[in-house]
Chain A
Amino acid sequence: MTDQPDQPGQPGQPDQPGLGEVLRDLTPQVLGILVRRGADFAAAEDAVQEALVEALRHWPEPGGRPDNPRAWLVTVAGRKLVDAQRSAHARARRELRVHLEPGPGPAAQADDTLLLLSRCCHPALTPASAIALTLRAVGGLTTAQIAEAFLVPEATMAQRITRAKRTVSGQRFDRPGEVGAVLRVLYLVFNEGFSGTVDLAEEAIRLTRQLAAATDDPEVDGLLALMLLHHARRRARRTPAGAVVPLADQDRSSWDTAMVAEGVEVLQAALARDALGEYQAQAAIAALHDDAATAEETDWPQVLEWYDELIRLAPSPVVALNRAVAVGEVDGPLAALRLVEGLPADLPRRDAVAAWLHERAGDRDEAARRYRLAAERATNLAERDHLTRQASRLNRGPGPRAG
């Protein structure tokens, strides 16, 4: 089981418009077909990568593009798989040939998506391994692209993927695993945001769309809605220089209204099915923010109701902290501060929320002190810079509150 060299030519490459995109959509389908017919996952993944290399070599030639690209890839990948096993397992080859004969129906394809995702997000894998394997085996990204997105050397990422494949290899593929584990991994990919040349948020949305089309679970739709409702604000979240812009100060006219509309539609359809879960609740909160034309128009009482649901469905200190912000808006900063001070001292952003509430309560000195503490404990640069600016604004003496 080796990590195959990556195929050149990806979406956006000018000389092959659309080809990379087509191949990335077909990657999980082809892999799913091979795996469902009994091929070992790791071997099948290698075979699919080899078939993609062949496709990139032959399809751009005049008349090279096959009429049925998926069938072509299945045939070529199947042949690669047989070649790989020929010397070692002559008998297994004959059996495999028989398995590779039948064609897939649409229902089987839908099952494959969940089957593959649940295998790539297997609980035996660490989150980082699951993410890497998902992006390659289902997302169709190259090892080099994944390495760049996570700012590690390609050799390191290749090893991470190889180890992940070894871990899930030998696990049976006969039935899909838990959807929850898949949703957690997709959520993590989304939250990585954008670094390097690969937009991981977009990639997460693409994969979640595939999963939503293949499954019948309102929480999958809830996660898709959550992603769309947040991604709609991407242009407003940072200044051109990269500084963080808090929700209250964002230029709402730059939000993507079409994406908000789609997110709301997906969410409403999910909620109508009356099987509430944490992703639907989070999406509902995001939708209420997206719905307010100005920060002042935010329907905070309803936001708080959704946080009450969320904390019931998925209690955690992070949710409790975010809920405290809503309490601050509904019941005032002092009520919220009582909640915040009861949370663990090492909770990220706790001091930042406390600082904001102290300022609202009129205690500028304590607010400045807590902003400084929050800056010292920030786990990322953009947040630290933002918090330092807040502390310095308060330390420079009284004046109108600025973002």
Chain B
Amino acid sequence: MSKPKISVSDLKLWYGDHETLHGIDVDFEAKKVTALIGPSGCGKSTLLRCLNRMNDRIVGCRIEGSVLLDGKDINAPDVDVVQLRTHVGMVFQKPNPFPKSIYENIIYAPQIHGMVDKQGMDELVETALRKASIWDEVKDKLHEPGTALSGGQQQRLCIARTIAVKPDVILMDEPCSALDPIATAKIEELIDELKQDFTIIMVTHNMQQAARVSDNTAFFYMGNLIEFGETSTLFSQPQQQQTEDYITGRFG
């Protein structure tokens, strides 16, 4: 395995007195799709939110251990969380475009980070929308509200919005759970294309989806990483009984 993009070691997390993650060690390969699977409450989403410090805002949340992005600890005091989030973008479970125009949705983050001047705006919007394979569908209505799009289009708009700041890593928290199968397929197709440029880490409840789109899969259970490996191996011959039971539908 080449040098990992994100390397998590001995990561523990508490909500108040409740330990939710019990020492996670996992490396995420660059420009690969890694799927995090496991039953609800197993800590996969929590881990995902550790990777861009979305847990910072939760009162009483405390972590131990390290998360290295390109070898640099993201929880180090000299790392700014705002800057970190321009490197590690996030796409959420429910499509959540801002109730503004498509154009404004895309341009918002580059603008607040001062990444773009007036001349470059149109180009940046087009590039981001093209990369998210939604340009052809929205190019004639860039100034209509993003919320008027269909669910799948909204989610691709959110992905476009995320890649507009040119992050290295995209975190996806069950990006298709609110979408119909065709919209889901489009997102999966998009993920396949995006992994040429980005490292993608996605949480999913849909095991077939994990099997379809990911290169590596990590199985979590009760706040522990039970098994991590190549997706094809993990789904045909898992090494751990718990993984076996989970992916064959025998618990969870």
Q: Do A and B come from one complex?
A: no
